[in-house]
Structure 1
């Protein structure tokens, strides 16, 4: 009978530990995803900003030497990421493929112009800086027109600013929720041993002596939960990296290192604090209050 009861208690204890580990792992996994987004915000915004391009249309009478000089200057410009020259014949071919018919047969001549597609560095993709670049290019004698999507730039800039604010807000809120959820799991684990705590106290054990084994055990569970969440994050990051390789999640070892160390530290810190206060509560209760 005693052996049967002992086995039951061990199964119950293992089940309790498993529940705590899963709770910690799930919460830290979600915190990790949020942390990854916060840490990679600059890379993500840079990726989208550098998709923006300015198209510089050239006049029909522009000389080849002048075009080459402008191309060389654009390549050396501080705002340029890459420059692609598109001749009017290439542009006509691309446009014909898009509309599904050769519009030159209908018009009889090519109304399109030679142009440069200039991809910009992310730091220069703001309404003010792009307007400045536009004005610099317009004064060139061979430039007919400078074109880019102004409404898109304004929307992109506003949304990035809003995103940064909300990400910081959600980070703080979610960290608080993580603390509360992990704390609840730890409190339930300690609650199941409240009579053991009181028995040890009644036979003369000090509060520190009683508390230490619970804290050590909880920290172990926190570390295990953190490593489980890290495995989940690595699988998640690998999947996202395959879908959007430009973000380069797996190659950014510094950010991944910061993220994983933070997750492990949170797992240790939250479980330590939660266990300390949970055991303290039951140590301060009277024996008759343990039943409520």
Structure 2
């Protein structure tokens, strides 16, 4: 009979530990995924910003020396990511391939202009900086026109600010939820041993002596839960890098290692603090209060 009861208690204890580990792992995994989103939010925003192109159309009488000098100066400018020269012939071929018909046969002449397409660095894709670049280029006599989609730029920057705000808000909210959920799981695990705690206290054990095994066990569970969460995060990271290689998620090892270390440390820290507070609470209760 005693052996059967011991087995039941052991299974109950293991079940309690497993539930705590799962709770810790799930919460840390969600928090880690949100962390991945936060550290890559700027990279994703920059990727779309740098897709905006500034088109510089040249006059037909522009000299080759002037065009070459402009290309070199643009390539060396701090705001430039890449510069591409597009001749009127290449532009005509591109339009022909896009629309499936040769409009030159109909018009008899090529109305297009030679142009330079400028891809800017993300920090310079703002309405103010683009206006400065436009004014600087338009001052050159051999440049006919400078065009870019200003409405798209304004919409993009507005959405980036809005999304960044909500991501930061969700980060704080998820961190709070993570602390509360892990704390709740730890408190339930300690609650099941409240009578053992009080019995040890009644026979003369010090609070530190009683608290130590509970804190150590919780830290072990926190480590296991954090490792499970990190494995899940690594799988998600590899999946995203495989299907979205343009984001270059694995090319920032310092940030990734820092995030993984933070999640691991957070799992240990939260379980340690939660266990300390929970055991202290039951240590301070009177015997008759343990039944409520």
TM-score range, shorter chain: over 0.9
Return the offset for 1:89: 1.3
Query: Structure 2-normalised TM-score?
Result: 0.96
Return the offset for 1:64: 2.1
Counterpart secondary structure, 1:144: strand
Counterpart secondary structure, 2:251: coil
Match in the other structure for 1:288:
288
Counterpart secondary structure, 2:67: helix
Equivalent residues in 2 for 1:62-81 (5 A)? 62-81=62-81
Return the offset for 1:178: 0.5
Match in the other structure for 2:218:
218
Query: Structure 1-normalised TM-score?
Result: 0.96
Equivalent residues in 2 for 1:32-51 (5 A)? 32-51=32-51
Equivalent residues in 2 for 1:104-123 (5 A)? 104-123=104-123
**Partners of 1:173 and 1:29 in 2: how far apart?**
15
Return the offset for 1:41: 2.7
Q: Where does structure 2 lack aligned partners over 5 or more consecutive residues?
A: none
Return the offset for 1:172: 1.4
**Partners of 2:81 and 2:115 in 1: how far apart?**
16
Within the alignment, does 1:263 sit opposite 2:260 as a pair? no
**Partners of 2:167 and 2:102 in 1: how far apart?**
48
Match in the other structure for 2:234:
234
Return the offset for 1:10: 1.3
Return the offset for 1:94: 1.1
Counterpart secondary structure, 1:250: helix
Counterpart secondary structure, 1:40: helix
**Partners of 1:35 and 1:151 in 2: how far apart?**
31
Match in the other structure for 1:151:
151
Within the alignment, does 1:202 sit opposite 2:199 as a pair? no
Comparing 98-107 with 201-210, greater Cα deviation is found at: 98-107
Deviations 1:84-120 (A, max 9, x none): 1111111111112222222223222221111111111
**Partners of 1:253 and 1:27 in 2: how far apart?**
23
Return the offset for 1:251: 2.2
Tell me the number of residue pairs that the alignment of Structure 1 and Structure 2 aligns. 292
Instruction: Kindly report the root-mean-square deviation, in angstroms, between the aligned alpha carbons of the 2 structures.
Output: 1.4
Comparing 61-70 with 71-80, greater Cα deviation is found at: 61-70
Counterpart secondary structure, 1:123: helix
Q: Where does structure 1 lack aligned partners over 5 or more consecutive residues?
A: none
